[in-house]
Amino acid sequence: MEHRPLGSGGLHVSEVTYGNWLTHGELVEREAALACVRAALDAGITTFDTADVYAQGAAEELLGGALRGVRRESVEVATKVCLPTGEGPNDRGLSRKHIMESCHASLRRLGTDYVDLYQAHRFDDRTPLEETLLAFDDLVRQGKVLYLGVSEWTAGQIREALDLADQLGLPRRIVSNQPQYNMLWRVIEPEVLPLCQREGIGQLIFQPLAQGVLTGKYRPGEQPPDGSRAASGGRAPRFIGRVLGDRLLDRVQQLRPLADAAGLSMAQLAIAWTLSRDGVSSAIIGASRPEQVSENATAAGIRLDASLLAQIDDLLGDLIDRDPAKTAQMMSVKPEWAQPAWPNPSLR
C-alpha cells in the first residue's frame, strides 16, 4: 500500500481508504464487517472513512470496535457531520450546536479522543458560514479534530469558505474534499478540481466503482446477482438503480477486454483510474466480504498508461457526465444511466 499527502498539508493517507457507508451496521452482519476491517488492515490500508449518519451511528460504533487494539497513531480516522441524525430541527446542518454535539457523539462511538479528519458532509445554506468555520476551528484548537474537509461542495462554496477564513484570520485548515468521482461521473473536473489543485485541497473520492457497476458484475438484461448490493434490502437499491440502465451496463461490459489486456480485474481498473487523476489523494472502497477488500486494495500503486486512459474515454464517450451544475447533485444522472422505473429519490 502506498500513501499520498492529503492536499498540501502534512497528513498522509493510504491510496485506498476503507469506508463503511451502506454496509457496516446496515447491510452486512457484524462479523463480516469486522472481517472486512481486518482485511483492510492486512492490506496496508490505514485510512478509514465513516459518518455520524451512516446507519444512524451504528457504522461509527462498529468501526471503533474493529479498530480497538490497533495503535491509534497508525491509522487515520475520518468522519462527517451535517446530514440528519434525528427528527429535531437541530439534529442536522452545520450550526455550532450540531457540530459540537455530533463531534462529541462521534468520538464516543469511535472510542477515540480525536479524529484525524472531520468533514462537512454537505453545505448548509441555513447556517451562517462564519458560525460553521468558527465551530470547526474551536474543535481543532481543542485537539478533538486534526484536519478539516468538505464533501460534495461546489467550487463556489469552497471558494467562499476559503475567502471567509482569510477574512476571519483563521488558518486554512480545509485540506480535503470528498466528492463522488469515477470513470463515468466526472462533474468535478471543470470547476472543483482546478480550484482544489490551486488551493492545495486533496480529493478523497467516493464511489470509484459507481455503486459496483464498474466491476462488471451487473449485466444488461439480467437480474442482479445474489448477494450484490442491488439485490439487497435497505436503502441500497434506491441508490444503485440510478446506474443499472441496460445501455450503461452494455458499455461497461466493453471495458472488460481493456482490463484483461492490462492484467487487472475491472474493479482494479476502475480504482486505478481514479488514482491516476491529478489531485486525487485516495479512493474510498466499501465491501461486504474481506476478499473484495483484498482485491480492491491492490489497485494502489498501479499506474495506467496514457493509451489505456484514452481508450477508456473513447469507449465510454457520450455516457461520461462532466456537467459542473451537478457537482452537489449526485442523484441527477443521465437518463440512459438509470433503470426506466428508477424514482430519482432525494438524498434527504
pLDDT tens per residue, range 232-243: 555 556 667 788
Are 287 and 16 in contact, with CB atoms under 8 Å apart?
no
Which has the closest alpha carbon to 271: 289, 288, 293, 249? 293
**Residues in the chain, pLDDT under 50:** 231, 345-348
Predicted pLDDT at 348: 29
Are 294 and 35 in contact, with CB atoms under 8 Å apart?
no
Predicted pLDDT at 253: 96
User: Could you tell me where the DSSP H helices lie in the chain?
Assistant: 30-42, 58-66, 96-110, 129-141, 155-168, 192-199, 236-240, 246-253, 256-261, 266-275, 290-297, 306-316
Predicted pLDDT at 236: 58
Predicted pLDDT at 23: 56
**Nine-digit cell at 155?**
467550487
Question: How many other CB atoms are found less than 10 A from the CB of residue 3?
Answer: 17
The residues assigned a catalytic role are 54
**Nine-digit cell at 156?**
463556489
Predicted pLDDT at 342: 60
Predicted pLDDT at 61: 94
Looking at residue 176, the DSSP 8-state letter turns out to be E
Are 51 and 59 in contact, with CB atoms under 8 Å apart?
yes
Predicted pLDDT at 346: 41
Which residue has 451496463 as its cell numbers? Answer: 249
Predicted pLDDT at 203: 98
CA angle 32, 206, 322 (to 5 degrees): 150
Predicted pLDDT at 340: 72
Which residue has 480525536 as its cell numbers? Answer: 114
Whole-model pTM above 0.95? no
- List, for residues 78-91, the tens digit of each pLDDT value: 999 999 999 999 99
